[in-house]
Chain A
Amino acid sequence: MDRREWPLWEVFIRSRNGLDHKHCGSLHAPDARLALQSARDVYTRRQEGTSIWVVRAEHIVASDPDAKAELFDPAADKIYRHPTFYVLPDDVNHM
C-alpha cells in the first residue's frame, strides 16, 4: 500500500478586507481543493477570515538565515530612508 504522507500546505488568511493575507499555519492535503477546504475548516472556525491562500510548502522559496547579515544589515545605515531623519521647522513638521 502507498503510505506516502499527504503534502504539506502553508495557509495564509486575510482576516478582513483592507488587510494583507497573513501566514497562520499549515496542514496536510492531497490536492489544492481539499487544502483550501481544510484551511477553511481548520483556521476559520471563529470567523477569522474573508479570504484564504494555500501554497504547497515545497513551493515556497525562503531566504537563508545564514545570509541574514548580507541580506538585511546593509539597510541598517540608510537612515535617510526614514521620515524621522529629516528635521523640519515646527510649522511644517507634520509633513
Chain B
Amino acid sequence: MYTQAMDIAAARGEDPAPGQVTDAGYQAEFDAKIDRGDFIEPKDWMPEAYRRTLVRQISQHAHSEIVGMLPEGNWIGRAPTLERKAILLAKVQDEGGHGLYLYAAAETLGVSRDTLVEALHAGRAKYSSIFNYPTLTWADVGVIGWLVDGAAIMNQIPLCRCSYGPYARAMIRVCREESFHQRQGYDLLLAMMSGTAAQRDMVQDAVNRWWWPALMMFGPHDAQSLNSGDSTRWGIKRITNDELRQKFVDATIPQAKLLGVTVPDPDLRWNEARGAHDVGAIDWDEFWSVVNGNGPCNQERLAARIRAWEEGAWVREAAMAHAAKSEARAAGGR
C-alpha cells in the first residue's frame, strides 16, 4: 500500500541525492552487511539516504493504515449482523494496531510519531491513495478485504525480509494479522453471493469500482518507477511493482471466478505463452489525479484525521499534566 507512494516522492524530486557519505569505512561496512543479507539495527551506522528513505516509506505505510481505518469504519455502525460487526470492528482496530507498530518502527530512526503525524496533516507525507475512494455499500467492506488487503499482503510479504530490522519485525507481525483480513473479506462476499439478486449486484458493483484502484496500489509501471534502484539494493524493496501486480492478478482471477463475479477489464485474458494474465491499460491519469488530491474523498479523509488529532489535544495534554502532578506528589511524599 505504500510502495507507490514511495516512488512518487522520488519521482517528484523530493528525495535528497543518495550517497553523501562522510565516512568511507562505515559505508563499506554497511554495504558489506547489506550484501551479506544482514539486518541493519537502529543504532548501527547507516547512510542518510537509507535512513530518509526508510522514514518516508515506513511512515507512509503507517499513515496508510491509519487513514485506512476510515473507509471501513464507515460501515461498523451499519454492519448487518452482530458477528459481522464484531469482525469488522476487530479488523479496523487491527489496522490501527498496524499503524502503531509501524510508527514505532519509524521512531527507531530518530523521528517522533508526532512529527510524522504533523507531516501527514500538513500534506507533506502521503498515504495510499486507495483510501481516497468511498465505501458505498456493505459489499465494499468485503471487496476491500479481498482485493485491497490482498494487494497489500502481496506488497508486504517481501518486506518481512527487508534489511531494516525493526521494519522487518513489524511487518512480520502485520502480515500474520493481515491474512485474517483477506479471508474475512472473501467470506463476507461468499455469503452475499449466495444471497439475493440485490446482494449479488452489490458485490459486482463493488468489484467494478475497486478493481482498477486495487491494481494501481502496486504503483507505476517499472519503467516509470525511478526510485527502485537504491531501494532494491538496500533490500527495502525486493520485487518490482509490475511483478507484484502480475502476481496479484494471477492469484485473484481464479478467486473471482469461484465467487461468481467478473472484473471490469475487457482486455483481460490468459496468455498461454507467458503463463500469466494479460491486463488492459491502467488509467494512470486517474491515479495521478487521486494522488494529487483530487480523489473523491481526499479532503474528507485528511480532515477527519486532523479533527481527531486537534480535538484530542486537550486529552493528551491533560494526561501529561496529571502524570506531572502525580510525580511531584510522589517526590514530595518521600
Contact = CB atoms under 8 A, between A and B. Distances in A.
A28 interface: yes
A35 B117 CA distance: 20
B107 A26 contact: yes
A42 B97 contact: yes
B257 interface: no
Contacts of B97: 42, 45
A65 B45 contact: yes
Contacts of B317: 1-3
Interface residues of A, number: 22
14 contacts: A2-B320, A5-B113, A25-B173, A26-B104, A26-B107, A27-B104, A28-B113, A30-B323, A31-B323, A34-B319, A45-B93, A45-B94, A46-B177, A65-B44
B256 interface: no
Contacts of A42: 97, 100
Contacts of A28: 113
The secondary structure that dominates the A interface is loop
B43 A64 contact: yes
B262 interface: no
A86 interface: no
Contacts, number: 52
Contacts of B322: 30-31
Nearest to A29: B319
A22 B115 CA distance: 28
A25 B323 contact: no
A78 interface: no
Contacts of A4: 320
A1 to B, nearest CB: 6
A2 B104 contact: no
Place the interface of chain B in its size category. Answer: 20 to 34
B316 A62 contact: no
A72 interface: no
Contacts of B319: 6, 30-31, 34
Contacts of B223: none
Contacts of A5: 112-114
Interface of B: 41, 43-45, 90, 93-94, 97, 100-101, 104, 107, 112-114, 170, 173, 177, 313-314, 316-317, 319-323, 326
A55 interface: no
Given A25-B104, A45-B93, A2 B43 contact: no
Contacts of B112: 5
Contacts of B101: 25
A47 to B, nearest CB: 13
A52 interface: no
Given A2-B317, A25-B173, 19 more contacts: A3-B114, A3-B313, A5-B112, A5-B113, A5-B114, A6-B320, A25-B100, A25-B104, A26-B104, A27-B100, A30-B323, A31-B322, A31-B323, A31-B326, A34-B319, A42-B97, A45-B94, A64-B43, A65-B45
A42 B95 CA distance: 11
Nearest to B114: A5
Nearest to A5: B114
Nearest to A2: B317
Contacts of B107: 8, 26
Nearest to A30: B319
Contacts of A2: 317, 320-321
Nearest to B96: A42
Nearest to B170: A25
A42 B104 CA distance: 12
A52 to B, nearest CB: 15
